[in-house]
Structure 1
Amino acid sequence: MQQYLTYRHLASLTHRSLRVASRPAAAVLICAALLASPQPAPAQGLFSPAITVDDAVITHYELEQRARFMAVLRVPGDLMEAARKELINDRLKLVAMEEAGIAPSEDEITTGMTELAGRANLSLNEFLSTLQENGVDPETVRDFSRVGIGWRDLVSARFLARARPTEAEIDRAMGQAGSGSVQVLLSEIILPINEQNAPQVEDLAQQIAALTTRAAFAAAATQYSAAQSRERGGELNWMPLTKLPPQLQQVVLALSPGDITEPLPLQGAVALFQMRGLREVSGRAQRFAAIEYAAYYLPGGRSAATLAKAQEIIEGTDTCDDLYGVAKGQDPSVLDRVSLSPGEIDRDIAIELAKLDPGETSTAVTRNNGETLVLLRLCGRTAELGEGESRETVANALTAQRVESLSASYLEQLRADARIEDK
């Protein structure tokens, strides 16, 4: 069988937390993070054991260094506790790597460090200098890269053959065998944008794209998103992949759990999605020949008064037909009702429709540079069978998900078998 799993999917299993922002945003994030960085421990005892993992030692210095490094990467929560967990895992991984005869070369380690620096649009020297100026030793980054690369190679060698889906499994995932399909679990952030706030929104979107945890993404969704899902930290329910706009399906399938898309430009907004999960389910995937929806346009954009008026209409109507009564006596242009193939629908509208059942409504979309609010209601979907996403893309997504699950179970077993003691 063709080797469907790409380097990007394997790398994402261990380098997901390496994502950082573009140069301007990275500088802002690093400065902000350092304000909350752990304070140095007293010199006395700095290199004394803090934790032992079987015969391996983790020093207080290593804990402090990893916590500082995690602060720069914007990891939320108790950084010392997070550093403790990561370093214990690293010791377990190093033993497993040694037993498997895996030892990344200096060139491979440097390549990994260079990739990390590149995600901040910095050269390796610039990146290491910035970290060193703020108390993070280059050796800390080198150790992080060495373990990440070695563990990636180990789980690839150990689990890749088991994780690759068969042709029949790919058929089921694509819904071609009539017995299975793919569903995705996403979180979203929708940021309204106009000519006045474009620079600020673009910078914010880059900072959100650089987040490394689900908790941080959820906090950003609650604070900044205009979508109704903000009340749930941006979390959407499981949905069939085929409900998403065709242009978004490939983007989503390229993500591993925890990954965040690059900012996606929409009309009047910027969208970001985080993958929380992917699963195969029984039942043929529905594909759609046409989607019918109604759009009622209200002046005033996302002002409190306009949103209140929209909510009034939603509560007073149930179907698309009911909107004709709302628009009665007004210019015909205030209401559109159309039926289009999924590929013909504007991406921002298609994204909202993917979340709706017939009769449900969204107020996340705007037009006219944010000055017009769109009350969007799904009228119905006409199903058909189609080719959908490519076999290779589906196979990559399934393989990455299985490798991640197998490697996580393996690490948990290593941890359960180890003797871990705090000093």
Structure 2
Amino acid sequence: MIATFLFRYARTAALAAALLAVSGFGSTVMAQSVAAMVNGEAITNFDIEQRIKLTKLTTQKAISRQEALEELIDDKLKVKEAKRYGLDMSSSDVDGAYGNMASRMRMNPEQLSKTLEGHGIRPETLKNRIKADMTWGNLVRGRFQSNLLVPEKDLAGIEPSDTKEGESFEYLVRPIVLIVPRGSPSSAIEARRKEAELLRSRIQSCDEAQSLFRSMRDAAIRDQLTKTSADLPPALRELLDKTPVGKLTPPEVTKQGVEMVALCSRKPTKADTPAKRAAREKIYNQKYEAKSKSYLQEVRKGAMIEIRK
């Protein structure tokens, strides 16, 4: 019975499609829905509407239909060009990047998807944008790596007049956490914070910290990490500069519990200072943007792009 119904439905649908094609109605609808063809791939009017909504949500700026179409054309070309060089992102790679973006927004992927859908945006719209941006970035940095390097001569004269700001240190640190279960009352958090302060006053070296915190319940001391001044945000860098070697930084309440950092060593280094790192990154980004723009223009010249009215 069900099989017979499905067969009849399929035959009816096929007949309807044939009638639409003969009448020209189906081809008209198809032509209206496709806004452009890029190397044989379609960009629909729906895609354009989605890009406009996504841009409005993420940048708080309204873009025109033409601007949205140009962005979508570029995205198609970027992915296609990257594939020529064997660069492609799998669905799992894209989902991972999507999840990381959600995490930075203090959401999980499902919450991010619901937020997008609440604004009339399909999650795939954002995922497609992520894929284009990441594959293109990998391609440009991979193909033109030597052109993007920033020589030391380009950084001459950028050090600040403040001597302290012009110095760079290498810090050997060990993060420590006194675990507080989620949902604990503020009294429990305060008790652990006071405990951390007491322990902090007792510790005189990283060896002592390791011995103590490894033996404690509901506490952990991480492996050693090496960071330079340029790796750290200003607030943490200033805190470590004020902390005596062998001591712990003041306790800070976080999602994990009460955290501190044991400073095992601090020594001068010739690595980039924060000012030099910032200058290097600025010049690198300028070079990247220029190369990315010129490369994309070349790709567009060799592409088959058909804009449909």
The TM-score, its normalising length taken from structure 1, stands at: 0.37
Higher helix share: 2
Higher strand share: 1
The TM-score, its normalising length taken from structure 2, stands at: 0.50
